[in-house]
Amino acid sequence: MLVDFHSHTRESDGTLEPAELAEAMRKRGVEVFSITDHDSLGAYGKLDGTAGTAAVVTGIELNTTYRGNEVHILGYGFPVDSPEIGRAIAENRRQRELRAERMAAQLQTAGCDLDLASVRAEAGHADTSLGRPHVARALVRAGYATDIERAFRDFLVPGKPGYVPQTYMRPQDAIGLVRRAGGVAVLAHPGRLKDESIIDELIDAGLDGLETFYPTHAPNQVAHFRNVAARFGLVLTGGSDFHDSRYTPCGVGMEVDRADLQPFLDLVV
């Protein structure tokens, strides 16, 4: 079946409006999807019926840094108006603003004429959740990098002048938050972890699933995460991590066997 449980809009660091993303899902024939903006649920009030016949599962992506790893937790199937999720989003967005301001200050020290206003200008909406991609776009617009990938590589990864880790939430906290809100907590793109032993700690913290089907996961990684999920009773999910057609050329949607997804679908659809 064609699904997509990982995608982004202009409510965080994507480049499509929510209705435009939903229309892309419809045109692709996606049967079930989630919009998993970073620290934002704003997209769900802006779909305007554009999802067509597709089922829409509430989702969010919570970014954390843990033991030197970027650890992203996807939450699904909780009420959009969850008070606890709402409070966490508000605090995380405040921390994101402070982080973006610190990134800009560090880049200025490194010789880049960049400030928070120029980063904010890349976000589109006043209430957009800021992230590194907005800083990257500001660097490209200012001529300090030729594209987003080079901006990250030269300025925004560990060891580079604009890097600032996310320290406001641990992945264990994110898992607990999602589960207390009645949702399903899934580890995003586990193949990107530098230290896979973190997965054991997250399972102990109540992790429900692994994003096994992901564009950059090689077949041997898919097989490995299948085995991990089977061993610990975790559900499997999959998603394109779509942000922008220029950087996600395969577009939205992933073909995944229904049998692989059914335990997850039983929890959220």
The domains located in the chain, with CATH, are: 2-88+170-268 (3.20.20.140), 92-156 (1.10.150)
Rounded CA separation 202/199 (Å): 5
Q: Which residue has the tokens 């264990």?
A: 172
CB within 8 Å of 174: residues ≥ 6 apart: 62, 64, 73, 75, 185
pLDDT for 52 equals 77
Task: Give dist(CA 215, CA 204) in Å, integer.
Answer: 27
**What type of residue sits at position 13?**
D
DSSP helix/strand/coil, 24:
helix
Q: Would you state the pLDDT for residue 126?
A: 74
pLDDT at 247 (0 to 100): 75
**What pLDDT does 168 receive?**
81
Q: What is the mean pLDDT of residues 227-248?
A: 94
| Closest among 88, 31, 51, 45 to 238, alpha carbons compared | 31
The pLDDT-based confidence of 123 (bands split at 50, 70, 90) is: confident
Q: Which helix (H) or strand (E) holds 250?
A: none
For residue 125, what pLDDT is reported? 74
Q: Is the pLDDT score of 133 beyond 80?
A: yes
- The DSSP-derived string for 151-202 is HIIIIISTTSTT-----S--HHHHHHHHHHTT-EEEES-GGG-S-TTHHHHH
Rounded to the nearest 5 degrees, what angle is found at the Cα of 81, between the Cα atoms of 77 and 82? Answer: 70
Nearest-angstrom CA–CA distance, 103 and 71: 19
| Rounded Cα gap, residues 166 and 210, in angstroms | 22
> What is the average pLDDT value for the chain, to the nearest integer?
94
Residue 99 burial (10 A CB sphere; 0-12, 13-18, 19+): buried
CB 129 within 8 A of CB 38: yes
Contact 216, 186 (CB under 8 A): no
β-bridge partners, 187:
73, 210
- The three-state secondary structure class of 124 is coil
**pLDDT (0 to 100) of residue 6:** 98
Average pLDDT over residues 140-165: 95
Cα gap 43→1, rounded to integer Å: 24
**Cβ atoms < 10 Å from Cβ of 251:** 13
pTM assigned to the model: 0.90
- pLDDT tens digit string along 19-74? 999 999 999 999 999 999 999 999 999 997 777 789 999 999 998 989 989 899 99
Tell me the pLDDT tens digit for each residue of 192-219.
Answer: 999 999 999 999 999 999 999 999 999 9
The identity of residue 193, as a single letter, is L
Residue 236: both structure tokens together: 């499997």
What pLDDT was estimated at residue 261? 98
CA distance 161 to 5: 33
Residue 55, classed as helix, strand or coil, is: strand
